[in-house]
Structure 1
Amino acid sequence: MLHSQIKRDIKQCYENLGNQLDNFIPRRAQNYLVAEIAKTLAGEYHKKNRMLVAEAGTGIGKSLSYLLGGIPFALFNNKKILISTATVALQEQLINKDLPLFNRIFPKEFSFILAKGRQRYCCSHKLELSVAGDNDDQMALWQEKPKKSDLELLTRMKKAYESGKWDGDRDAWPKQIPDRIWQQIVADKHSCHAGLPKHRQCPFAKAREHLDKADVIIANHALLMADIELGGGVILPEPEQTIYVIDEAHHLPQVARDFSSAAASLKGAANWLEKLNQSTAKFAELADYAKAGRFQSALQDNIQHLIPTLRQIATNIDPAHFSDDGIYRFEHGELPQWLEEEAKGCKEASKKALQALGKLHDLISERLKDNEISARLGEPALSEAGFYLQRLENLEKVWALMAQPNNKKGAPLARWIEKSPDRDGDYIIEVSPLEVGYRLDQLLWSRAAGSILVSATLRALNQFTYFCRQAGISESDGVRFLALASPFDYQNNARLVIPALPLEPQADKFTDLLIKVLPEYLEGETASLVLFSSYWQMNKVAESLQATAKKNKWQLLVQGEESRTVLLKKHKENCENKVPSILFGTGSFSEGLDLPGDLLKNLIITKIPFAVPTSPVEEAHAEYIESRGGNPFLQISVPEASKKLIQSAGRLLRKEEDSGRVVLLDRRVISRRYGKALLDSLPPFKRIIEHK
């Protein structure tokens, strides 16, 4: 049961909120969501599986709901709250707006912090070494010889860090730091860790101290996955002591899949392994030959197995197997026997090489700690060894996945080879799981003190089934599901128009039809957004409509011609100056684009956003479903299109007083059997279906 003290704290917050915000109107849906979050965390629905999956439409106030329902419970029960988001924009909103507001209305003290991965921080000692003059060991780590301007920038950064004007966070530096420079000073887990005296005050170590003390932590999905893949509690708090709030939860399965994937080149890897081979004697000398001799031998033996093997694999690959886009995918994830054998050998060799280099790294680290070798010699060697350890970890992951036998029960791994776009004649070996739900369940849901998953679009075709399958969530086992409709008055404020067009999007002449009919739906409109399914089609239509736009004094703003920020700024200025403004965009403009009030009155969706399974992972997933007698179009394409269509339509109304229309130029919602389900999953707009 929910403790009476927690109930009092939540009630007090609500009263204070009314005093803090002008025009605050309590919303029934928001109140209900707060109560359900608190009750779920208290174990009222299931003692062990304290999980809520909530789709909450635009305008409900999701972030304030989970702060109100989660923080009082977490503090009372001495738990941490981790809020994970998919976008930087939501992180900034939470850190700069929502949490400071909640801090003012909550009757108790609490602290919050933004968590970032190690790679967002510099290593202060690496920074010091990078400007220490002609240090050959340090210079050897540069991929190319540094320019004078690179060294000048590093000197400015060092001075700013030492004077306290910069905290070592890449995002806090006033200008963008080029990748080639950042790679020289970035913190890494092998050479920059608090066990070494010179690194105890490094930026990441300081950030971790603050993180350990904070009550509420904001992270992104990638950092969350990085932590749980390491076992949990390594970067972020222990899962058993943490209540996870996953906002923008519909992105989590894809992030999880990306984290479980791996890729490495063949010839490129052989080249850096040769450089590593040349450094092994130096590592062994610094580690003390008496202790390190056997590790040096093991490292060299395994490198000398890997280098010719990787080059031979590249030679053995038959170019005839590649598609026009340079991809050779193995059907059902099954490798030819020769490659299966080579994969097993590469797996063992990369694993043993990684272990041997790890031992050399540890011995150097111990000698450095005990002052048996100077920091001038030891630190660059640790940094260099750390660089190769990371590469070997990735190489070992790739070949371990390539050599892994296909699971008889679950989906196989997608395995493919891609021609390298950068290196002539090189290939990239790539592996990805098709389904990652079991990993999320095993590493996260089954261990968490509580889990709250929220998004404006979690359902597909009005059901949670598709998302649950992707995210490894059981639809039974006491999981609480909520679908809360937006408070907006869709019937009176918005209409959905489906014109009587003679062609459907798969027709050859559909692009020509768009060029002909779009002006009719742009005429007389002040603020329009037109969403296309492809860049090619968008650019062709834009080019053809330039003369019409000029004649009508429309400002046509096309995605890709300038940055998103610049385009939106120009669109806003046009609208303020009463100049008809039209934005053309593709799929990325259908999510996260906020154009409230007069900034959007006319939304045109040119076609249902069906994704064609073109990536090797999508093709392999479709192949797997077919092999089990399923229909990939109905099981993957239609649910995905439903989600994307809802997101696209969600661009129109952003606030309660907003109004306008959605024009859908795709008759398949009327003509096809799956169309009704797509149509019924959209918000309850007033429908105007034109008949031919």
Structure 2
Amino acid sequence: MSASPADLLGADGPLARTLERFAPRESQQRMADAVGAAMGDGETLVVEAGTGVGKTFGYLVPALLHGGKVLLSTGTRNLQDQLYHKDLPLVRRALGVHARIALLKGRANYLCPHRLALAVAEGRQLEPRLRQPLAQVQAWAERTRSGDIAELQGLGEDAEIWPRVTSTTDNCLGTDCPEYDRCCVAQARRRAQEADVVVINHHLLMADLALREEGFAELLPSADAFVLDEAHQLPDVAGSFFGTTVSARQLVDLSRDCLAELVREAPDVPELRTRADALGDGVKAFRLVLGGGLERRAWEAVADRDEVQTGLEELETALRELAEGMEAVADRAKGLESCARRARDHLQRLQRFRDPPSDEVPWYETWTRTFALHLTPLDVASVFAQRRAACASAWVFTSATLSVDGRFDHFNRRMGLGRPRELLLDSPFDYANQARVYLPRPMPEPNAPGFTRAVVDTALPLIRANPGGTFLLFTSLRALREAAELLAQGLQDRELLVQGNGPRGLLLERFREAGNAVLLGSHSFWEGVDVRGDALSCVVIDRLPFAAPGDPVLEARMAAIRERGGNPFRDLQLPQAVIALKQGAGRLIRDSHDQGVLILCDPRIQTKSYGKIFMKSLPPMGRVSGPQEVIRFLQEGA
């Protein structure tokens, strides 16, 4: 096919002829040509495509035409499914091309027949609460072809049974597994190896790039081109995968798997079962010395406490003794050999955590019963650049929110991209007529005790007057819960939906159906939410989304910037907050027919000099100066 990607997306192109409601967009055509050129030249391209550009088709058309192997990486599994099951087949059919497509998720998304057999073999030793879910998995396992756990509608993706019947990098036996011929992960990878276009996600991509450095076999097939959608998420995802983690769950799983393998393969060595139990006991004891509650802190905050050091030493001793014991019987069976290797790997990670390199940040987090110890790189730029250089491929990074004040410097620097090709495409929507922004005054400072009440008092009459639905987006769960209590008292005639009171997807479904509901959300609702029409005509944001103070990784990165003579606020905190605000504000206008009001309650956007940077980074919405103008626009439009 000799036509350019832009031609194919034009008014006389195949997509306009075959797809209902397809509207040619000049910005989408520019993006498609730029992506195609970057793929053809093996170059790196960074594209910000504002809401309404149609960036998905803007990269799918050149990807399907490329002729080589293309990996499409998205931010979430939901977006993966959307691309693979809907968008790709639609565009492929319209173009009349025969490119083979495949979907590849992380191994935790696929049933492991071997671990299912182990769980079934536990019989009455299996926790009673897991027996019914296990029976559901067994019945589904008989009929599934892909083994993708998303198929089983009766169980949520966070169901407790899934870690028992799926594998991890740690516990997978690979080609030595007795069920390897039925391995769902291996089958998915084979399909990916044979495909022209493979849909993956950022977590899988980063996991693969990290494993390449460690010398293990690549999870992903080598590709001629990578397209990374929702690329604004990449710096944080990269940080988690290029670091090191030792968690209570990993160690408990190891203890449980050792016990299961010892009962089957080495029943004559009961002393090793005692060592496996000792590791489990050590995990519980160490969780207790870390203190109660939910915490996310720098390791130095507790490292000097005697009980913490003692607990860590005892945990290391238990892990070492288990590793040595499992190595003594490892030649009896592959399962025992795998457990021995895992124990040794965890021991090395724990020792690395106790004596971390200077360019990594040690920190920990606790939940009710578990914990995780992390080492996170201070800077992922150099690491990511090295991994990327090992793949002689074209790289396309795209999102609706990559620029700050019209520049890509912040993103390019964080990802170590050097000087890539760049393309900034504004939204084609008519924001001047479709949207208004309201900066209420006077408002107390965000740290003032009555700030959240002031936000609710400001929003409540506007919510009541709004014929459509309203989002209230918060930067903290504490503020969200306080606002929910206040709104429950003052809002009787609208359905009030609150994050945490149900699955995210169900809350959004109810919000769309209601037409005039009120939804309160924190971080997970600031992006990836698409509600069109009158069901969402007002978005209220409580404060500018600066990262929470005290975050251990952020604090360490700020200190490193200061040591280099930089300005942490200018170089890190402000750009990240601008990108986050653009994501939240982007929930408002999702269609060329949408109308709505964005309400920014943080007074700093008006009183601080950096407020101008936030405003310049938002779409060019009209300004309203008072609540009556807001109500008039919500009820009458432009």
Would you call these one fold, judging by a TM-score over 0.5? Answer: yes
Instruction: Confirm or deny: 8 A CA contact 2:103 2:188 kept in the other structure.
Output: no
For residue 500 of structure 2, what is the amino acid of its counterpart?
Answer: G
Pick from 527, 539, 543 the counterpart of residue 603 of structure 1: 539
Cα distance in 2 for partners of 1:480, 1:399 equals: 42
1:58 aligns with 2:51: yes
1:670 maps to what in 2? Answer: 606
Find the counterpart in structure 1 of residue 481 from structure 2. 539
Instruction: Give, in angstroms, the shift of residue 333 of structure 1.
Output: 13
Letter in structure 2 aligned against 1:508: P
1:199 to 180, 196, 201: 180
Which whole-Å CA distance do the structure 2 matches of 1:203 and 1:185 have between them? 12
SS of aligned partner of 1:676? helix
SS at match of 1:18: helix
Match of 2:355 in 1: 403
**Is 1:389 matched up with 2:341?**
yes
Which residue, out of 121, 138, 145, partners 2:125? Answer: 145
Relative distance call for 1:167 and 1:149 in structure 2 (3 A) is: farther
Q: Say if 2:475 and 2:522, in contact at 8 Å, map to a contact too.
A: yes
2-structure distance, mates of 1:343, 1:555: 49
CA RMSD of aligned residues (A): 4.3
Q: 1:494 aligns with which of 435, 441, 452?
A: 435
Aligned residues: 616
1:34 aligned residue (24, 32, 35): 32
Alpha carbons of structure 1 residues 534 and 609: separation in structure 2 relative to 1, 3 Å: same
Against the structure 1 CA distance between its residues 214 and 347, is the aligned structure 2 distance closer, same or farther, given a 3 Å change threshold?
A: farther
**Residue 13 to residue 499, structure 1, CA distance change in 2 (3 Å):** closer
Equivalent residue, structure 2, for 1:173: 152
1:200/1:663 CA distance change after superposition, 3 Å: same
- Give secondary structure in 2 for the equivalent of 1:669: helix
Does 2:413 correspond to 1:469? Answer: yes
Cross-structure match for 2:497: 557
1:368-387 mapped onto 2 (5 Å cutoff): 381-387=333-339
What is the CA deviation profile of residues 371-403 of structure 1, one whole-angstrom value per residue up to 9, with x for unaligned ones? xxxxxxxxxx53354355335423423423543
Q: Aligned-pair distance for 1:535?
A: 2.6
Q: How does 1:472-621 map to 2 (within 5 A)?
A: 472-474=416-418, 476=419, 479-527=420-468, 528-550=470-492, 553-575=493-515, 580-621=516-557
How many angstroms does 1:355 deviate by? Answer: 10
Provide the rounded CA distance (Å) in 2 between the counterparts of 1:86 and 1:654: 19
Deviation (angstroms), 1:421: 4.0
Residues 9 and 390 of structure 1: is their aligned pair in 2 closer, same or farther, counting only changes over 3 Å?
same
**Which deviations, in whole Å up to 9, do the C-alpha atoms of 1:138-163 show, x marking residues without a partner?**
54xx9x9215785676566556545x
Which position in structure 1 is the counterpart of 2:398? 454
* 1:621 to 1:283, Cα distance in 2 relative to 1, 3 A: farther
- Distance in 2 (CA, whole Å) between partners of 1:38 and 1:441 is 22
1: CA distance, partners of 2:262 / 2:117: 25
Please tell me the residue identity of whatever aligns with 1:95: Y
Give the counterpart of 1:89 among 75, 78, 85: 78
Q: How many angstroms apart in 2 are the aligned matches of 1:325 and 1:675?
A: 33
The aligned residue for residue 633 of structure 1 is: 569
Q: Partners of 2:409 and 2:126 in 1: how far apart? A: 53
* 1:378 paired residue number: none
1-side partners of 2:311 and 2:489: how far apart? 60
TM-aligned CA deviation for residue 191 of structure 1:
5.2
Contact 2:48 2:403 in 1 (8 A): yes
2:588 matched residue in structure 1: 652
Residue 409 of structure 1 corresponds to which residue in structure 2? none
Structure 1 range deviating more: 667-676 or 228-237? 228-237
**Partner amino acid, structure 2, of 1:251:** Q
Give secondary structure in 2 for the equivalent of 1:231: helix
Tell me the CA shift for residue 223 of structure 1. 1.0
Amino acid at match of 2:298: R
Kindly name which structure, 1 or 2, has the bigger radius of gyration based on alpha carbons: 1
**Other structure's SS at 1:533 match:** coil
> Does 1:123 find its partner at 2:123?
no
Aligned to 1:212, which of 193, 198, 212?
A: 193
State TM-score, norm by structure 2. Answer: 0.83
Q: Does the 8 Å CA contact 1:267/1:311 hold for their aligned counterparts?
A: no
Deviation at 1:687, TM superposition (A): 2.3
With 220-229 and 180-189 compared, the bigger mean Cα shift is at 180-189
Relative to structure 1, the CA distance from residue 350 to residue 473 in structure 2 (aligned partners, 3 Å threshold; closer, same or farther) is: farther
Q: CA deviation at 1:431?
A: 2.1
Letter in 2 for 1:175: G
2:474 touches 2:480 (CA, 8 Å); kept in 1?
yes
- Per the alignment, do residues 102 and 359 of structure 1 end up closer, same or farther by CA in structure 2, a change over 3 Å counting? farther
Supply the distance in 2 between the matched residues of 1:341 and 1:537 (Cα, whole angstroms): 38
* Residues 488 and 655, structure 1, Cα contact 8 Å, conserved in 2: yes
Q: Which residue of 2 aligns with 1:226?
A: 207
Stretch moving more, 622-631 or 446-455: 622-631
Counterparts of 2:248 and 2:219 in 1: how far apart (Å)? Answer: 34
Q: Which moved further from structure 2: 104-113 or 530-539?
A: 530-539
Matched position secondary structure for 2:466: coil
Shift of 1:280: 8.0
Structure 2 residue runs of 5 or longer lacking an equivalent are 628-638
Q: Which residue of 1 aligns with 2:635?
A: none
Measured in 1, the distance between the counterparts of 2:514 and 2:81 equals 27
| Separation (CA, whole Å) in 2 of partners of 1:639 and 1:685 | 21
CA contact (8 A) 2:15 2:95 kept: no
Matching of residues 311-322 of structure 1 within 5 Å: none
Q: Does 1:682 align with 2:629?
A: no
Equivalent-residue separation in structure 1 for 2:256 and 2:103 (angstroms):
40
Could you tell me the TM-score, scaled by structure 1's length? 0.77
Determine the C-alpha separation between the residues in 2 that align with 1:355 and 1:231: 28
What are structure 1's unaligned runs of at least 5 residues? 44-48, 132-137, 287-295, 365-380, 407-411
Q: Tell me the amino acid that sits aligned with residue 435 of structure 2.
A: A
Q: Given that residues 472 and 539 in structure 2 are in contact (C-alpha distance below 8 angstroms), is that contact kept between their aligned partners in structure 1?
A: yes
